[in-house]
Chains A and B, each alone.
Chain A
Amino acid sequence: MKRPVTRRAVLGALGAASLAGCTELGTGGARVDGRPTTSGGTGGTSPPTVTDHLPLPMEPSSLRSEAVSGGPPKDGIPSIDDPSFISAGEASNWLDPGDPVFGLVTDGGAKAYPQSILVLHEICNDVVDGQPVSVTYCPLTGTAMGFERGETTFGVSGRLVNNNLIMYDRATETWWPQVLATAIPGPWNDSYTTRSLEEFRLVWTTWKRWSNRHPETEVLSRDTGFAKNYERDPYGSYNPRRGYYRPGSSPMFTSFSDDDRLEEKTVVIGTRTPEGAAAFEKDTLRAQGLVAGELGGEPILAVHDPALDTGYVYRNPEGRQFEHRDGQVVDASGTAHRPAALPLERTLAFDAMWFAWSGFYPETNLYASD
């Protein structure tokens, strides 16, 4: 049963999120990157969108013509629409400590979505803290992203653009490429308006790191209602990294990118706003702890979180100085902050394979060691 999201609930969540300062799920103006939102998009049941749309690499109509079939038809890859969750202890029976999970922290607690499950579904339509959300994962671009979905659900169209999953919302059948998070015209709905989804951060980390940080976490159950073999990743393995995920391997389909500053499968932490895009090589960020950069002409700061081996990106307009010390980030006054909670405005950032990021954001800044 779908639960309606009232304005009061949204405002309540906004207040709670602001106070907590550590949850990822924002709503109605409480987005992690502070972008204002609209309610409901163009139709009553279409997913919620934001006022300013994200940058696109080409005209929306061109994106449509670049879309290719990955093989399976619409919903041939079935989204999980009725997820169930188990305890960390139960999940440890089949999750290896090194297996990747996509973590989400909200006021209601922590949830982990194992990559081994989402690789066969790509979308999990869930309800978190009363809010309908979609947790999405594209194996071919190595991107895990969260979206608010309103009263509708997202499904897998079976088409790819720049190797990236094209989702569709089941209310209007509009196409939404996952990384772009922006509507493009498609065969099932040509009358789109360019608008971007409300997003929230998922943390790509390992089961060991996530369960250490959040021992009470819930974990998406393999009891999805589908007959799938969750022991088998058709593309390869992240634990250890091999097959399609192996550094030096090629994308499945031709990518938009001809940027060879990094190898195609190198993982970057990317952030993009209507003003521009920036990417931080994950290995570089891991080694240096803090990396300064620029986004749309404004200073930004990327911070590594060694506990989860992930990165966060903040706007840093005043060029404030920080120092990484014992897993915490210390400001000029000596105050220590968790990497996820610096006293700066955080932008939404996520892991991506370099070919995918540079293909979608060819003007991106890149911060990587030589």
Chain B
Amino acid sequence: MPATDPTPAVTGDEGALAGTAAALRAAAGRWDSSAVFLLATVGYLVVYLATVGDLALFGSGGALTVRVADDLSRALTGLGFFRFGAIAVVTVGPVTYLLSPLNLLLALFLAGLVGANVALTYLGLIQPRACGLESSTGILAGLPALLSGAACCGPTILLVVGIQASATLVTGFQLLVPVAVAMLVASLLLVGRQVDPALL
């Protein structure tokens, strides 16, 4: 009977997952990387909500007001491009926020991924062994979702860059959020395996 190795063999994918999980645990245990995570997450959350039109600085400058929609099922109504309806308008000072629960959930998910990428990139940079330029891909991976902000008819980003929309382009815009998620996850795995918690 052949002797067995007490350490189970792991595939490359499992190694990346385990490495990333360990790196994330290490990041969560340090105040500096936790702060980086928080800053990046909140920053991305704000920028994402602004680009999809849920957050704006157009308020009247008054006290806190909340106006709730008559039909709360609008929260489940798709507005295209992974955008969903809002059920309340919250205004405080110059800030107007449209509360769309599904938009917020998606924004938190994306922002969490970006925050994790940035935190692990930070750890990769401060650990004694340099981990390479690919760490920065984690930040760039969040960009496609920021471009997905859509107006009533057509993607608003096209107005900014002056490109005329087409049916193909509009279809492509619907893929931006899934592409961003895939890129962020891939990037997280990539950077996670390059962080060695033992070196921190």
Contacts and interface: CB of A to CB of B under 8 A. Distances in A.
Contacts of A119: 152
A122 B77 CA distance: 17
A94 B60 CA distance: 9
Contacts of A163: 153
A4 interface: no
Interface in B35-59: 53, 56, 58-59
B124 to A, nearest CB: 38
Contacts of B156: 234-235
A38 interface: no
Interface string A158-170: 1010010100000
B88 interface: yes
A75 B76 CA distance: 13
A122 B79 CA distance: 14
Name the prevailing secondary structure of the A interface residues.
Answer: loop
A77 interface: yes
A213 B22 CA distance: 71
Contact of A227 (B69, B159, B164): B69
Contacts of A158: 80
B181 interface: no
A227 B98 contact: yes
Interface string A278-316: 000000000000000000000000000000000000000
A253 B74 contact: no
Contacts of B68: 227
Contacts of A225: 69-71
A245 to B, nearest CB: 10
Contacts of A75: 77
B197 interface: no
B188 to A, nearest CB: 29
B74 A227 contact: yes
Given A72-B79, A139-B153, A227-B87, A254 B164 contact: yes
Given A71-B81, A229-B98, A252-B165, A235 B86 contact: no
Nearest to A250: B164
B187 to A, nearest CB: 27
Given A70-B170, A71-B155, A227 B80 contact: no
A228 B152 contact: no
Interface string A221-232: 001011111011
Nearest to B169: A253
Contact of B152 (A226, A229, A234): A234
8 contacts: A69-B80, A71-B81, A72-B78, A227-B87, A227-B99, A232-B53, A235-B152, A251-B164
Interface of B: 53, 56, 58-60, 67-71, 74, 77-81, 85-89, 96, 98-100, 150-156, 158-159, 162, 164-167, 170-171, 173
